[in-house]
Amino acid sequence: MTLPEEVPCMLMRGGTSKGAYFLAGDLPGDAAARDDLLLRLMGSPDPRQIDGLGGAHPLTSKVAVVRPSDDPDADVEYLFLQVAVGEAEVSGGQNCGNLLAGVGPFAVERGLVPAGGDRTTVRIRMMNTGDLAAATFPTPGGRVEYAGTTALSGVPGTAAPVVVDFPPGSGALLPTGRVRDTVAGTPVTCVDNGMPTVLIAAADLRDTGITGYENPGELEENTALARRLREIRLAAGALMGLGDVSTATVPKLSLLAPPAEGGAVTTRTFIPVRCHTSIGVLGAASVAAGLLIPGNVGERIARLPPPGGRVRIEHPTGHLDVTAAVDVGEDGTTPVPGRTAVVRTARKIFDGTVFARPAAPYRTSAPAPAPAPLEGGTDDSASR
């Protein structure tokens, strides 16, 4: 008898996403073997992910791999992996700021970082990009406290706050070197404040029949919009130095419309094909920074707070507040990222062992064939 592979795992909600958290030492060191195992653990490829941990959506088919860091500027290293739902693909081409919210608590739970009194700060190296972040969260009595009064749009109930601070990254805030570009006949602002993002005024896509206030399902059903966004993403990806992004998960595309609920701007973000039911943390950080650059495509759309105020990014299920700053580089003209911070929450859902589906060819789930009638009688199983 062949026993199933078993791996220690913690399932956590981080921000508005959900994912499986693993210690790097509990997974194969070879990337191909690791990815094959993760596909079988998550239940991909299958649009329902019925035979694994995944929740049949990109936001619930995520993995965080964490290990101690030898870097004097970091306590742990965090590798984010996006496990595709309907395809046998695992991508490390982007960060995830939502799962990032759970990395600090996970590191304390696993003993990688000791609790530091009533509050603990964990310094995190995000291996997808090399950037740093610091997560601060309550640890009264030396244990992670998940209960609290902080509410997040798109998450039921409340939980303890996790303050995630991002020091300025070393990459270009404007990857193309320009505040505005025209791609596929559409004005855009390409920005990267932790997530390569293309800002597009929804009004510039009115020929596809959208306003920017539709719900995600309506936008996903708009085939004219899908074709236009694909053209923009492929062209913008090349301009941003990302190469051929036809099979990549970046850049993200954020449609901008005037705020509807008193925030700075209304967004609809594509990740990259499905429309996000909210907005990613790093995507929101990039939108906020982009809006602060004079001349951006959202300049006449956004209603920005006074300098130093939080930029409230509206999304389909509420809003996300971002503390963001844009400074000027040594040449006196080039915009460079300043401090960025957000408040998230996280919750431990289970901690235990997950068992992998056997390593065999996958078939996507399909309705089972009707059972054959019982010999000598009729099949009444449907009525039982």
What is residue 331's predicted lDDT score, i.e. its pLDDT?
87
* 341: in domain: no
**Would you say the C-alpha torsion 27, 28, 29, 31 has a positive or negative sign?**
negative
**Low-confidence residues in the chain, pLDDT < 50:** 1, 368-369, 371-384
Whether residues 75 and 202 share a domain: the answer is: no
* 260: in domain: yes
Whether residues 242 and 305 share a domain: the answer is: yes
Whether residues 237 and 320 share a domain: the answer is: yes
Whether residues 234 and 298 share a domain: the answer is: yes
Whether residues 158 and 60 share a domain: the answer is: yes
Whether residues 157 and 216 share a domain: the answer is: no
* 361: in domain: no
* Contacts of 366 by beta carbon, 8 Å cutoff, 6+ apart: none
What is residue 309's predicted lDDT score, i.e. its pLDDT?
87
Tokens read off for 16: 């508005």
* 230: in domain: yes
Whether residues 235 and 306 share a domain: the answer is: yes
Whether residues 139 and 270 share a domain: the answer is: no
- What CATH number corresponds to the domain at position 285? 3.10.310.10
Task: Give ∠ CA 108-109-115 in degrees, rounded to 5.
Answer: 35
69/5 Cα distance (integer angstroms): 27
Whether residues 129 and 161 share a domain: the answer is: yes
Residue 257: name the closest of 306, 203, 309 by CA: 203
Number of domains in the chain: 2
* 375: in domain: no
110/103 Cα distance (integer angstroms): 10
Whether residues 186 and 274 share a domain: the answer is: yes
Whether residues 106 and 199 share a domain: the answer is: no
Whether residues 201 and 329 share a domain: the answer is: yes
* 309: in domain: yes
* 173: in domain: no
* 371: in domain: no
With contact defined as beta carbons under 8 Å apart, do 376 and 205 qualify? no
What is residue 171's predicted lDDT score, i.e. its pLDDT?
84
Length of the chain: 384
363/50 Cα distance (integer angstroms): 12
Full domain range(s) for residue 301 = 181-333
Predicted TM-score (pTM) above 0.85: no
